[in-house]
Structure 1
Amino acid sequence: MTRIGITGHSNLSADTVPLVRTALDEVLAPYGGDLVGVSCLARGADQVFAEAVLDAGGTLEVVLPSVDYREAKVAPGDLGRFDALLMRSALVRYMPHRSAGPDAYRDANESVLAGTDRLVAVWDGRPSGGKGGTGDAVEAARARGVPVDVVWPDGARRE
């Protein structure tokens, strides 16, 4: 089994989502069912990745940053998709934080990186500025020698 984690932008534009999904399908195709995808299930890249993993026949594991993540951070309009992915996951782990916030997100990113063989980054290449964003996760993965597949198709944009 190959374990692949995801980091990526949560604010993908609506027309970017299918572009990213196609690119993710291509990145994941060589692994087929021999794949475990690890995601925090944030809206945007994390959820598109989770769906691609499941559709490829892989297994989904979820790392939630805090006990209150669903209630505090998932918008009402996104609950159906979030819950559907959560129910299809083989394993759900919570970081030891009661409330979502910078420390919880850093710990969740650390957990994803520590438990994967590769990282997929749906990333426009811009630095995060040290706040635990996508660029910071890519930098941390590279510093550890974790291979990173950057996905940012032509025409992709953020809202």
Structure 2
Amino acid sequence: MRMIAVTGHMDLAEGTERLLRAALPALLTELTAGADGLTGLSCLAPGADSVFAEAVLAAGGTLEVVLPFHDYRGSLADPAVRERFDRLVAAASEVTVEPYPQASLAAFEAANSALLKRADALVAVWDGLPPAKGGGTATTVAEARAAGLPVHVLWPEGARRASAR
């Protein structure tokens, strides 16, 4: 079983999720060549994490989820994001919740570290820029590389972030 974790931007510009949905199947096929299956590891954040989780399930893989804090679902204000989250949690074979009562940088960093400890490789949906603040995709990529974990950056032509940096 090949265990693939994801980290990526939440603030994807319009059209970027479509680009990721088109690119992920080939990358997942490449990363699982010769393996006896695929398990995707995700925190199910809006954006890249959720698109990755959907791609894993569409590829016939299993999904394992690590949530950064107790009421993660309650922090999702958008009803469409909450519905997607609920659907993915219901499809997961395992859901682990980090022992943090609320959102914090420590909670998100702990969840990302938990993913990396279980992974054989990391898919980073990342524009390659350094972090604007602590934590986040760039920090997770650096942690994976420092641990010797293979990192596969996915940022398709035309992908953009919604927020100005």
Q: Identify whether the pair has TM-score above 0.5, normalized to the shorter chain.
A: yes
In the alignment, is residue 81 of structure 1 matched against residue 84 of structure 2? yes
Counterpart of 1:127 in structure 2: which amino acid? P
1:129 deviates by 4.8
* Aligned pair partner of 1:152 in 152, 155, 165: 155
**Structure 1 outlier segments of 4+, above 3 Å:** none
2:77 and 2:150 map into 1 onto residues whose CA distance is 30
TM-score (norm 2): 0.92
| Deviation sequence 1:38-72 (CA, Å, 0-9, x none) | 00000000000000000000000000001111102
2:156 and 2:64 map into 1 onto residues whose CA distance is 25
Contact 1:123–1:134 (Cα < 8 Å) also in 2: yes
Q: How many residues align?
A: 159
CA distance 1:94–1:130, change in 2 (3 Å): same
1:70-109 → structure 2 map (5 Å cutoff): 70-109=73-112
Task: Extract unaligned runs of 5+ from structure 2.
Answer: none
1:77 and 1:90 map into 2 onto residues whose CA distance is 22
Local SS of the residue matching 1:19: helix
1:109 and 1:78 map into 2 onto residues whose CA distance is 20
Local SS of the residue matching 1:29: helix
1:74 deviates by 4.9
| Deviation sequence 1:60-110 (CA, Å, 0-9, x none) | 000000111110245333111110011000000000111111110010011
1:14 deviates by 2.0
Contact 1:130–1:136 (Cα < 8 Å) also in 2: no
Q: Give % identity.
A: 50
2:132 and 2:25 map into 1 onto residues whose CA distance is 29
TM-score (norm 1): 0.95
Counterpart of 1:109 in structure 2: which amino acid? N
**Aligned residue for 1:38?**
41
1:16-27 → structure 2 map (5 Å cutoff): 16-27=16-27
| Deviation sequence 1:99-122 (CA, Å, 0-9, x none) | 111110010011011110000000
Contact 1:62–1:91 (Cα < 8 Å) also in 2: yes
1:130 deviates by 5.7
CA distance 1:12–1:130, change in 2 (3 Å): closer
2:77 and 2:147 map into 1 onto residues whose CA distance is 31
- The worse-fitting range, judged by mean Cα deviation, of 17-26 and 49-58 is 17-26
In the alignment, is residue 29 of structure 1 matched against residue 29 of structure 2? yes
Counterpart of 2:27 in structure 1: which amino acid? V
Local SS of the residue matching 1:13: coil
2:76 and 2:108 map into 1 onto residues whose CA distance is 12
* Aligned pair partner of 1:64 in 50, 67, 76: 67
Task: Extract unaligned runs of 5+ from structure 1.
Answer: none
